[in-house]
Copies of this chain bind each other. A is one copy, B any other.
Amino acid sequence: MSPGARHPDGTAAQPLRSDAERNRARIIAAARTTFGRDGLNASMASVAREAGVGIATLFRHFPAKEELVAAVFSDRMDAYADAVAVALADPDPWHGFTGYIETACAMQAADYGFADVLTMTFPTAKALEKRRDEAYEAMVRLIDRAKATGRLREDFDPSDLVLVHMANAGVVNATGDAAPDAWRRVVALLIQSFEAPARGPLPDPPEHDALYRAMLRAGPAGVTASEPDKSS
């Protein structure tokens, strides 16, 4: 086991030495800005440089890149889950629904790394995945509530929110800093298309399993991590 091992929830098993604690914090801060700017493609070396530590130090604290990613985006995932909770608390279900979409997509746009995390789910970060799944359940309730008011079209499917994220990720990735608000227009268009009454039928939503499998696909080079065992 690595020295200064920690429980999954981040509490220290044995307290780190003061300098180690400081470096750990620096690394996480550096990774936050670096991943946010460059997405998960950002190299570990660039994170180490930004943090002002050696590469080895980085890898001792986070033996694999995914662990660093998990540590960095843990709180952002909380904020994401909170957004659903806020939306559920909104007295106007439709307003809550649309507000949630805008908030969640804004988070994607503000942090390229988070956009990657949301759409590609890479398998190992169990903690992140769990919270993402909880958020998904809450989203289903949010959708049902919005449908009940008649503002949301009846054939809206929870998986459509995943598709929105994928589409948004496409726009955000492609436009980047050059047109940082372009995504807002696409999201606004999509939201208008969600509004009842439907203007026409839609192709069936993808199978739930298929969509989930799609999200497991390999992320950026090197992050691919554990291959999804061959006994499928």
Contacts and interface: CB of A to CB of B under 8 A. Distances in A.
Contacts of A169: 170, 174
A212 to B, nearest CB: 8
A184 B215 CA distance: 18
Contacts of A188: 200, 202-203
A190 interface: yes
Interface size class of A (residues with CB under 8 A): 35 or more
Interface centre among A163, A170, A181, A185 (most CB of B within 10 A): A170
A176 interface: yes
23 contacts: A119-B170, A119-B174, A160-B189, A163-B186, A164-B186, A166-B170, A166-B174, A167-B171, A167-B186, A168-B170, A169-B174, A178-B210, A178-B211, A179-B214, A181-B206, A182-B210, A182-B211, A185-B204, A188-B200, A190-B193, A192-B193, A192-B198, A195-B199
